[in-house]
Structure 1
Protein backbone atom coordinates (compact mmCIF):
# COMPACT_ATOMS: atom_id res chain seq x y z
CA UNK A 1 0.00 0.00 0.00
CA UNK A 2 1.47 3.39 -0.94
CA UNK A 3 2.23 5.96 1.72
CA UNK A 4 -0.18 8.43 0.11
CA UNK A 5 -3.00 5.90 0.15
CA UNK A 6 -2.25 4.99 3.78
CA UNK A 7 -2.28 8.69 4.78
CA UNK A 8 -5.58 9.23 2.97
CA UNK A 9 -7.15 6.21 4.69
CA UNK A 10 -5.95 7.34 8.10
CA UNK A 11 -7.13 10.89 7.48
CA UNK A 12 -10.54 9.49 6.54
CA UNK A 13 -10.68 7.73 9.89
CA UNK A 14 -9.94 10.94 11.76
CA UNK A 15 -6.32 9.91 12.40
CA UNK A 16 -3.21 11.44 10.92
CA UNK A 17 -0.22 9.59 9.60
CA UNK A 18 2.51 10.27 12.17
CA UNK A 19 6.20 9.89 11.53
CA UNK A 20 9.04 10.43 13.92
CA UNK A 21 11.45 11.42 11.13
CA UNK A 22 14.15 13.76 12.40
CA UNK A 23 17.05 15.61 10.82
CA UNK A 24 20.48 15.96 12.43
CA UNK A 25 21.29 19.21 14.19
CA UNK A 26 24.71 20.78 14.39
CA UNK A 27 26.20 21.88 17.69
CA UNK A 28 27.52 25.27 18.75
CA UNK A 29 30.25 26.44 21.14
CA UNK A 30 28.00 25.81 24.14
CA UNK A 31 26.70 22.34 23.28
CA UNK A 32 27.71 19.82 25.89
CA UNK A 33 27.89 16.05 25.95
CA UNK A 34 24.89 14.35 27.50
CA UNK A 35 27.08 11.95 29.50
CA UNK A 36 29.85 14.07 30.92
CA UNK A 37 29.14 17.74 30.19
CA UNK A 38 32.23 18.21 28.03
CA UNK A 39 31.83 20.90 25.36
CA UNK A 40 31.75 19.20 21.96
CA UNK A 41 33.49 22.07 20.15
CA UNK A 42 36.56 21.77 22.40
CA UNK A 43 37.60 18.29 21.29
CA UNK A 44 38.73 16.47 18.13
CA UNK A 45 37.20 13.44 16.48
CA UNK A 46 33.73 12.35 15.45
CA UNK A 47 30.68 13.40 17.43
CA UNK A 48 27.26 11.73 17.59
CA UNK A 49 23.65 12.49 18.40
CA UNK A 50 20.59 10.45 19.28
CA UNK A 51 16.98 11.58 19.01
CA UNK A 52 14.37 9.90 21.20
CA UNK A 53 10.63 9.79 20.59
CA UNK A 54 8.94 12.93 21.89
CA UNK A 55 12.21 14.84 22.04
CA UNK A 56 12.83 17.82 19.72
CA UNK A 57 16.52 18.23 20.47
CA UNK A 58 19.03 15.37 20.33
CA UNK A 59 21.26 14.05 23.06
CA UNK A 60 24.77 14.95 21.88
CA UNK A 61 27.89 12.89 22.51
CA UNK A 62 31.46 14.17 22.28
CA UNK A 63 32.57 10.76 21.02
CA UNK A 64 31.08 7.90 19.00
CA UNK A 65 32.15 5.40 21.68
CA UNK A 66 29.82 7.12 24.16
CA UNK A 67 26.94 7.08 21.67
CA UNK A 68 27.41 3.36 20.97
CA UNK A 69 27.71 2.64 24.69
CA UNK A 70 24.37 4.32 25.40
CA UNK A 71 22.65 2.87 22.33
CA UNK A 72 23.83 -0.69 23.02
CA UNK A 73 23.11 -0.61 26.76
CA UNK A 74 20.54 -3.30 27.54
CA UNK A 75 18.72 -0.91 29.87
CA UNK A 76 18.00 1.42 26.93
CA UNK A 77 14.22 1.55 26.70
CA UNK A 78 13.49 4.90 25.03
CA UNK A 79 12.47 4.68 21.38
CA UNK A 80 15.26 6.02 19.15
CA UNK A 81 13.89 8.04 16.23
CA UNK A 82 17.23 9.10 14.76
CA UNK A 83 20.91 8.48 15.30
CA UNK A 84 23.63 10.42 13.52
CA UNK A 85 27.42 10.56 13.36
CA UNK A 86 29.84 12.78 11.47
CA UNK A 87 31.37 11.73 8.16
CA UNK A 88 35.07 11.95 8.94
CA UNK A 89 35.85 11.44 5.26
CA UNK A 90 34.96 15.13 4.81
CA UNK A 91 34.85 16.64 8.33
CA UNK A 92 37.98 18.18 9.84
CA UNK A 93 39.22 15.73 12.50
CA UNK A 94 40.59 18.46 14.77
CA UNK A 95 37.48 20.67 14.60
CA UNK A 96 34.62 18.60 13.17
CA UNK A 97 31.46 20.51 12.28
CA UNK A 98 28.48 19.41 10.21
CA UNK A 99 28.68 16.50 7.76
CA UNK A 100 26.09 14.46 9.68
CA UNK A 101 25.10 11.06 8.33
CA UNK A 102 22.73 8.29 9.42
CA UNK A 103 24.72 6.24 11.93
CA UNK A 104 23.07 2.98 10.89
CA UNK A 105 24.33 3.25 7.30
CA UNK A 106 27.84 4.45 8.18
CA UNK A 107 31.13 2.57 8.07
CA UNK A 108 33.26 2.59 11.22
CA UNK A 109 36.95 2.11 11.93
CA UNK A 110 37.61 0.56 15.32
CA UNK A 111 41.13 0.25 16.75
CA UNK A 112 42.89 3.10 14.96
CA UNK A 113 45.69 5.27 16.39
CA UNK A 114 43.58 8.45 15.98
CA UNK A 115 42.07 9.73 19.18
CA UNK A 116 38.85 11.59 19.87
CA UNK A 117 37.67 13.49 22.91
CA UNK A 118 37.86 10.44 25.18
CA UNK A 119 41.03 8.88 23.78
CA UNK A 120 40.62 5.89 21.47
CA UNK A 121 37.52 6.38 19.34
CA UNK A 122 35.53 4.79 16.55
CA UNK A 123 35.86 6.85 13.37
CA UNK A 124 32.69 7.16 11.26
CA UNK A 125 32.42 7.44 7.47
CA UNK A 126 29.70 7.67 4.82
CA UNK A 127 31.76 5.78 2.25
CA UNK A 128 33.45 2.41 2.69
CA UNK A 129 36.46 3.52 0.63
CA UNK A 130 37.06 6.46 3.00
CA UNK A 131 36.91 4.11 5.99
CA UNK A 132 39.34 1.68 4.30
CA UNK A 133 41.76 4.52 3.46
CA UNK A 134 41.61 5.76 7.06
CA UNK A 135 42.25 2.22 8.40
CA UNK A 136 45.21 1.79 6.05
CA UNK A 137 46.71 5.08 7.28
CA UNK A 138 45.91 4.90 11.02
CA UNK A 139 45.26 1.22 11.66
CA UNK A 140 42.07 -0.47 12.77
CA UNK A 141 39.39 -2.52 11.10
CA UNK A 142 36.28 -1.45 9.19
CA UNK A 143 32.90 -2.38 10.68
CA UNK A 144 29.24 -1.70 9.98
CA UNK A 145 26.86 -0.32 12.63
CA UNK A 146 25.39 -3.74 13.47
CA UNK A 147 28.89 -5.17 13.98
CA UNK A 148 29.78 -2.85 16.87
CA UNK A 149 29.26 -4.78 20.11
CA UNK A 150 28.87 -3.65 23.73
CA UNK A 151 32.30 -5.06 24.67
CA UNK A 152 33.89 -2.69 22.10
CA UNK A 153 32.44 0.42 23.79
CA UNK A 154 32.98 -0.11 27.51
CA UNK A 155 33.24 3.16 29.46
CA UNK A 156 34.93 1.94 32.63
CA UNK A 157 37.92 4.12 33.16
CA UNK A 158 38.62 6.01 29.97
CA UNK A 159 41.86 5.75 28.11
CA UNK A 160 43.74 3.90 30.83
CA UNK A 161 40.83 1.51 31.45
CA UNK A 162 41.19 2.18 35.17
CA UNK A 163 38.56 -0.13 36.64
CA UNK A 164 39.13 1.35 40.13
CA UNK A 165 37.25 4.58 39.41
Structure 2
Protein backbone atom coordinates (compact mmCIF):
# COMPACT_ATOMS: atom_id res chain seq x y z
CA UNK A 1 0.00 0.00 0.00
CA UNK A 2 2.80 2.40 0.89
CA UNK A 3 4.55 1.75 -2.42
CA UNK A 4 1.24 2.09 -4.24
CA UNK A 5 0.62 5.48 -2.67
CA UNK A 6 4.04 6.77 -3.53
CA UNK A 7 3.83 5.29 -7.01
CA UNK A 8 0.58 7.19 -7.47
CA UNK A 9 2.22 10.41 -6.36
CA UNK A 10 5.21 9.87 -8.59
CA UNK A 11 3.15 8.81 -11.60
CA UNK A 12 0.29 11.33 -11.55
CA UNK A 13 0.53 14.64 -13.37
CA UNK A 14 -0.56 18.16 -12.55
CA UNK A 15 0.04 20.70 -9.85
CA UNK A 16 -0.91 18.33 -7.07
CA UNK A 17 1.15 15.37 -8.21
CA UNK A 18 3.89 14.54 -10.65
CA UNK A 19 4.24 13.47 -14.27
CA UNK A 20 5.50 10.01 -15.22
CA UNK A 21 9.25 9.79 -15.53
CA UNK A 22 9.37 6.53 -17.42
CA UNK A 23 8.84 6.71 -21.14
CA UNK A 24 10.99 7.48 -24.11
CA UNK A 25 14.20 9.22 -23.12
CA UNK A 26 15.50 12.20 -25.01
CA UNK A 27 17.29 9.83 -27.38
CA UNK A 28 13.98 8.07 -28.12
CA UNK A 29 14.78 4.79 -26.36
CA UNK A 30 12.41 3.58 -23.65
CA UNK A 31 13.61 3.89 -20.10
CA UNK A 32 13.86 6.33 -17.25
CA UNK A 33 14.32 9.96 -18.21
CA UNK A 34 16.51 11.78 -15.66
CA UNK A 35 15.25 15.20 -16.80
CA UNK A 36 11.65 14.19 -16.16
CA UNK A 37 12.61 12.90 -12.74
CA UNK A 38 14.34 16.20 -11.97
CA UNK A 39 11.10 18.04 -12.77
CA UNK A 40 9.17 15.49 -10.72
CA UNK A 41 11.52 16.00 -7.79
CA UNK A 42 10.96 19.76 -7.97
CA UNK A 43 7.19 19.26 -7.95
CA UNK A 44 7.49 16.83 -5.03
CA UNK A 45 9.57 19.43 -3.25
CA UNK A 46 6.83 22.02 -3.61
CA UNK A 47 3.85 19.78 -2.83
CA UNK A 48 5.44 17.89 0.07
CA UNK A 49 7.71 20.73 1.25
CA UNK A 50 10.87 18.64 1.06
CA UNK A 51 14.01 19.79 2.83
CA UNK A 52 17.24 20.22 0.87
CA UNK A 53 18.55 17.07 2.55
CA UNK A 54 15.48 15.08 1.48
CA UNK A 55 15.79 16.39 -2.08
CA UNK A 56 19.44 15.32 -2.22
CA UNK A 57 18.64 11.88 -0.80
CA UNK A 58 15.72 11.36 -3.17
CA UNK A 59 17.89 12.42 -6.09
CA UNK A 60 20.41 9.72 -5.08
CA UNK A 61 17.62 7.13 -4.80
CA UNK A 62 16.41 8.06 -8.30
CA UNK A 63 19.96 7.89 -9.67
CA UNK A 64 20.50 4.43 -8.19
CA UNK A 65 17.14 3.38 -9.60
CA UNK A 66 18.12 4.57 -13.09
CA UNK A 67 21.36 2.63 -12.92
CA UNK A 68 19.60 -0.52 -11.70
CA UNK A 69 16.91 -0.27 -14.40
CA UNK A 70 19.10 0.44 -17.42
CA UNK A 71 20.21 -3.17 -18.08
CA UNK A 72 16.57 -4.32 -18.08
CA UNK A 73 15.55 -1.58 -20.50
CA UNK A 74 18.41 -2.65 -22.76
CA UNK A 75 17.38 -6.33 -22.54
CA UNK A 76 13.84 -5.38 -23.51
CA UNK A 77 15.01 -3.20 -26.39
CA UNK A 78 17.22 -5.95 -27.79
CA UNK A 79 14.57 -8.66 -27.45
CA UNK A 80 11.92 -6.48 -29.11
CA UNK A 81 14.30 -5.66 -31.92
CA UNK A 82 15.00 -9.37 -32.44
CA UNK A 83 11.25 -10.12 -32.47
CA UNK A 84 10.73 -7.38 -35.05
CA UNK A 85 13.52 -8.89 -37.18
CA UNK A 86 11.95 -12.36 -36.95
CA UNK A 87 8.55 -11.03 -37.96
CA UNK A 88 9.88 -9.19 -41.00
CA UNK A 89 12.50 -11.73 -42.10
CA UNK A 90 10.06 -14.08 -43.80
CA UNK A 91 11.20 -16.98 -41.60
CA UNK A 92 8.91 -16.67 -38.58
CA UNK A 93 9.98 -18.92 -35.69
CA UNK A 94 7.27 -19.00 -33.03
CA UNK A 95 9.46 -20.81 -30.50
CA UNK A 96 12.12 -18.10 -30.81
CA UNK A 97 9.51 -15.34 -30.53
CA UNK A 98 8.15 -16.99 -27.37
CA UNK A 99 11.67 -17.21 -25.93
CA UNK A 100 12.29 -13.53 -26.65
CA UNK A 101 8.86 -12.54 -25.31
CA UNK A 102 9.73 -14.38 -22.09
CA UNK A 103 12.92 -12.30 -21.84
CA UNK A 104 10.85 -9.13 -22.20
CA UNK A 105 8.44 -10.37 -19.55
CA UNK A 106 11.24 -11.22 -17.12
CA UNK A 107 12.80 -7.79 -17.62
CA UNK A 108 9.43 -6.12 -17.00
CA UNK A 109 9.10 -8.02 -13.71
CA UNK A 110 12.54 -6.81 -12.63
CA UNK A 111 11.64 -3.24 -13.60
CA UNK A 112 8.45 -3.34 -11.55
CA UNK A 113 10.38 -4.64 -8.55
CA UNK A 114 13.04 -1.94 -9.01
CA UNK A 115 10.37 0.79 -9.25
CA UNK A 116 8.65 -0.48 -6.12
CA UNK A 117 11.98 -0.54 -4.30
CA UNK A 118 12.78 3.02 -5.39
CA UNK A 119 9.38 4.32 -4.39
CA UNK A 120 9.56 2.57 -1.04
CA UNK A 121 12.96 4.15 -0.39
CA UNK A 122 11.60 7.59 -1.28
CA UNK A 123 8.56 7.10 0.96
CA UNK A 124 10.85 6.11 3.83
CA UNK A 125 12.59 9.49 3.52
CA UNK A 126 9.37 11.43 4.13
CA UNK A 127 8.36 12.78 7.52
CA UNK A 128 5.11 11.53 9.06
CA UNK A 129 3.43 14.79 7.99
CA UNK A 130 4.66 14.42 4.41
CA UNK A 131 3.49 10.80 4.34
CA UNK A 132 0.09 11.92 5.59
CA UNK A 133 -0.13 14.47 2.78
CA UNK A 134 0.99 11.84 0.26
CA UNK A 135 -1.62 9.43 1.60
CA UNK A 136 -4.36 12.07 1.23
CA UNK A 137 -3.40 12.81 -2.38
CA UNK A 138 -3.31 9.16 -3.48
CA UNK A 139 -7.12 8.65 -3.76
CA UNK A 140 -7.31 11.51 -6.27
CA UNK A 141 -5.48 9.35 -8.77
CA UNK A 142 -6.89 5.87 -8.08
CA UNK A 143 -7.82 4.14 -11.31
CA UNK A 144 -6.02 6.62 -13.55
CA UNK A 145 -4.49 5.11 -16.63
CA UNK A 146 -1.31 6.26 -18.23
CA UNK A 147 0.94 5.25 -21.07
CA UNK A 148 4.28 3.60 -20.72
CA UNK A 149 6.27 4.12 -23.86
CA UNK A 150 4.52 3.13 -27.05
CA UNK A 151 2.93 0.02 -25.53
CA UNK A 152 0.56 1.77 -23.11
CA UNK A 153 -1.00 0.05 -20.16
CA UNK A 154 -2.28 0.71 -16.70
CA UNK A 155 -0.02 2.69 -14.44
CA UNK A 156 1.34 0.89 -11.43
CA UNK A 157 -0.37 2.07 -8.28
Q: Comparing both structures, which one devotes a greater share of its residues to helix?
A: 2
Q: TM-score, normalised by structure 2?
A: 0.21
* Bigger relative contact order, structure 1 or 2 (CA pairs below 8 A, ≥6 apart): 2
Q: Comparing both structures, which one devotes a greater share of its residues to strand?
A: 1
Q: TM-score, normalised by structure 1?
A: 0.20
